[in-house]
Structure 1
Amino acid sequence: MGLNRYADHAVAHKSPLLNAMTHGVMNGGKRVRALAVLAAGELNGAATPALLTVAAALEYIHAYSLIHDDLPCMDDDDLRRGQPTVHVVYGEAQALLAGDALQTLAFSLLASRDVELSANTQIRLIRELARASGAVGMAGGQAIDLYHVGLSLSQTDMQMMHQLKTGALLHASLVMGALCGEGDVNEPIDALNLFAEHLGLLFQVVDDILDASQETAVLGKTAGKDDAANKPTYVRALGLEGARDYAQSLYRSALAALTPYGERAQRLADLAAYCATRVY
């Protein structure tokens, strides 16, 4: 969705950009952010076509962030989802441009006249995604992470960092899905905030556990990279078993946050269960 409209132009100009963008988006992945959009939207009675558009926009932003994270100036990784990273295949310049293009494509999708949402809702979606992916969200969290390589970081500060780096986009996925619905938009957004906070941290803690306990073939990316780079992680702060206990605590808290919704929140509960059980 969205990429196809650029295909003819890219082919006509013999540009490798579309291929680099496609490699970054379509090389597998868990699609957790897209699933969060769909689950929150279903909870609030949203129509599927609009949710799919929003889900695609979130995945484009996530893919752009991974392409840039893997660059030599960032994490310098050669593997992503079991395949060579975009800059390894297409070069650093094309990888940088592919990330830039996916970021702008996400906002183009949300602003499209084809989206079956009110103009006011579209503006709210764009504003939410911009906040979550910018300096007070994902990009800001990544900056803090890079700054603290080799430095100590308290668990409280590390939690704040990951609420920006990982949690902000997951939170936006839930809020944006809810915004697409026909129910009382403020009530589910308020109720989802706590769930989103626990889910975002859970996802990051599990990532740290996997990085420390699984092999490259299982992860699809270089195992032990965070520890080798002396990055602050929950495993480094709490130990492996302590991090596993913390993950289970976050999972229980996430489920508790959904209690007011009852069975209507089953898809969100399933998403939390997936994020928790992939530890093992």
Structure 2
Amino acid sequence: MDNNGSELQAYLGRQLALIEEALDCFMPAATIRPDRLHQAMRYSVLGGGKRIRPVLMLAACEAVGGDGRHALPAACAVEMIHAYSLIHDDLPAMDNDDLRRGRPTNHKVYGEATAILAGDGLLTEAFVLLSRSDLLPGVSAADRLTIINLLATHAGTRGMVGGQMVDMEVEGRPIDLPTLEYIHTHKTGALIKAAIDIGGIIGGSQPEQRDALQRYAAAVGLAFQIADDILDVTAKTEELGKPSGSDLQRGKATYPALLGLNQARERARELNEVAINALQVFGLEAQPLRAIARYVIERSY
């Protein structure tokens, strides 16, 4: 893909169109009872976002020679889990945020109780999708079980939820770099790793390819969160779609807070190189993954 990003933007546009259509299709209709709950679920899932996790899943599927469209149900499942985590993260008991993606957060629109249930509903709906026998064509029963186990593990206490818990425990306290890396690789990186690994499995990845994708995913997942840390300090609220500087105000564990902006940027660049080097086993079919790795650390929101 070209250096000025136009090919990547065109690629992202095509993938986003597929993902948005699939999300709208796979989400429960807003008119189905309990309609208010389904409306709340759709509000958060269909309310915009970078869709980086589903895009990475489709790109990983294509990198190993698969058809990215076959991964759409699983990509939607991952995005549902991501949306549930944001709903719960924004609640008064957690970060107590009023804005998400430039709009009022779910609990501000539907109330705390409905927001909690909307998150619960999205988490379980994700596994409804993955367990449907009419979806994921060409994926064996054994691989389907592997995919379900992967997503559950990376979303749970050994992944995203565990990272969120440690993040809460250390808020406002001085921490060391290994603890910060644990938080980032679990709270954010785990779901990104799951998305990429699952995309490869759906596409029929061979052991060498899967290993390469896992190494790429580990680097990209951490780089993505470091970039978010940097943007929280440097970007404006209008660009982020949520209050800028909120991590600093809460005493959150971030790379700029621990290492400073320059070292944080350098660490993100190092991880970008690790990610791209991991893809040496692939040819041009992995160009989108290489371009996305660069986009992750260069983005402005």
What range describes the TM-score normalised by the shorter chain of this pair?
over 0.9
Q: Which runs of 5+ in 2 are unaligned?
A: 1-21
Following superposition, the deviation at residue 7 of structure 1 comes to: 4.6
Instruction: Give 2:149's aligned residue.
Output: 127
Map 1:131-146 → 2, pairs under 5 A: 131-146=153-168
Whether the 8 Å CA contact 1:209–1:279 is kept in 2: the answer is: no
**Alpha-carbon displacement from aligned partner over 1:39-95 (angstroms, at most 9, x marks no partner):** 110012223342111111110010010111001111110111111110000000111
Among 14, 30, 52, which residue is 2:72 paired with? Answer: 52
Whether the 8 Å CA contact 1:83–1:220 is kept in 2: the answer is: yes
Rounded Cα–Cα distance in structure 2 between residues aligned with 1:198 and 1:279: 19
Among 71, 90, 99, which residue is 1:70 paired with? Answer: 90
Among 274, 277, 299, which residue is 1:256 paired with? Answer: 277
2:188 is the counterpart of 1:166:
yes
| Partner secondary structure for residue 263 of structure 2 | helix
Whether the 8 Å CA contact 1:39–1:177 is kept in 2: the answer is: yes
Aligned residues, how many? Answer: 278
AA paired with 2:262?
A: E
Query: What root-mean-square deviation, in Å, do the aligned CA atoms of Structure 1 and Structure 2 show?
Result: 1.7
Rounded Cα–Cα distance in structure 1 between residues aligned with 2:92 and 2:205: 45
Distance change (3 Å), C-alpha of 1:263 and 1:220: same
Rounded Cα–Cα distance in structure 2 between residues aligned with 1:37 and 1:71: 28
Whether the 8 Å CA contact 2:58–2:69 is kept in 1: the answer is: no
2:107 is the counterpart of 1:87:
yes
Instruction: Give 2:14's aligned residue.
Output: none
Whether the 8 Å CA contact 2:64–2:285 is kept in 1: the answer is: no
Instruction: Give 2:62's aligned residue.
Output: 42
Map 1:183-202 → 2, pairs under 5 A: 183-184=205-206, 186-202=207-223
TM-score (norm 1): 0.94
Rounded Cα–Cα distance in structure 1 between residues aligned with 2:201 and 2:233: 37
**Alpha-carbon displacement from aligned partner over 1:178-200 (angstroms, at most 9, x marks no partner):** 1102342x222211122111101
Distance change (3 Å), C-alpha of 1:39 and 1:228: same
Following superposition, the deviation at residue 260 of structure 1 comes to: 2.3
Whether the 8 Å CA contact 2:107–2:114 is kept in 1: the answer is: yes
Whether the 8 Å CA contact 1:2–1:105 is kept in 2: the answer is: no
Rounded Cα–Cα distance in structure 2 between residues aligned with 1:46 and 1:224: 41
| Partner secondary structure for residue 11 of structure 1 | coil
TM-score (norm 2): 0.88
List, as ranges, runs of 4+ consecutive aligned residues in structure 1 with deviation greater than 6 Å.
Answer: none
2:152 is the counterpart of 1:152:
no
Instruction: Give 1:27's aligned residue.
Output: 47
Identity of aligned residues (%): 44
Q: Which moved more, 1:81-90 or 1:112-121?
A: 112-121
Among 208, 231, 252, which residue is 2:229 paired with? Answer: 208
| Partner secondary structure for residue 187 of structure 1 | helix
